[in-house]
Chains A and B, each alone.
Chain A
């Protein structure tokens, strides 16, 4: 079964750090660009970051550049997001998403993990 399963969300204080993980099954993980997309509950979607299959190309949205780091482990079929310097406005559901081919569209999504930044 094709599946993306996020974990690692929780409550963290402003300025704190958190590491999200996404475990993948059902497809050849190393062949796909992977991404993180977030959504404030009840609000719209915001693209966060993407990483190529070999991890040779990495991209970030402006709002997280310099604070978040995306990485992957193709042997473990896992995607990660290290989030440092967290801000209240980073509070959101974080989705792991597979990128369709070489394009920047998201054809497979996990169920998301909630990150809450609050004192």
Chain B
């Protein structure tokens, strides 16, 4: 099973800042990685698929990059509604795993 490590567990920023979140895979997963946003009491929302493709209706301030084992989600200018938990997820041969999540909190 491929493990995904998201670090740190919590990041603190102010609105207007640029945020960079990290996800590392225990072995190469090419670009088979997605990012999700989850707010309290809500289901996750798909933001990015295949490492860098923004999902429908996702604002352009969200971007993804990386391949192999190291991936990044960047939020260029944080809006108040962006403070949430973010998960990465890999898909290889239907052995799907998620990272443990990074909480983005307001400084």
Q: Is B one of A's binding partners? A: yes
A residues with CB within 8 A of B: 44-47, 50, 59, 61-62, 95, 100, 103-107, 109-112
B101 at the interface (CB under 8 A from A): yes
Total residues of chain B contacting the partner, CB 8 A:
23
Contact call A111/B43, Cβ cutoff below 8 A: yes
Return the contact of A103 from the options B45, B50, B101 (Cβ within 8 A). Answer: B50
Inter-chain residue pair count (beta carbon < 8 A): 54
Task: Give B13-62 interface residues, CB cut-off 8 Å to A.
Answer: 32, 34, 36, 42-46, 49-50, 55-56
Q: Output the residue of B42, B94, B96, B100 with the most chain A CB within 10 A.
A: B96
Return the contact of B94 from the options A100, A104, A105 (Cβ within 8 A). Answer: A104
Task: Give B49-107 interface residues, CB cut-off 8 Å to A.
Answer: 49-50, 55-56, 87, 89, 91, 94, 96-101
A112 to B89, CA, bound (A): 19
29 A–B pairs (Cβ distance < 8 Å), ordered by A: A44-B98, A44-B100, A45-B44, A45-B87, A45-B98, A47-B89, A47-B97, A47-B98, A59-B94, A62-B1, A95-B44, A100-B46, A103-B49, A103-B50, A103-B91, A104-B32, A104-B91, A104-B94, A104-B96, A105-B34, A105-B46, A105-B89, A107-B46, A109-B43, A109-B45, A110-B43, A111-B42, A111-B43, A112-B43
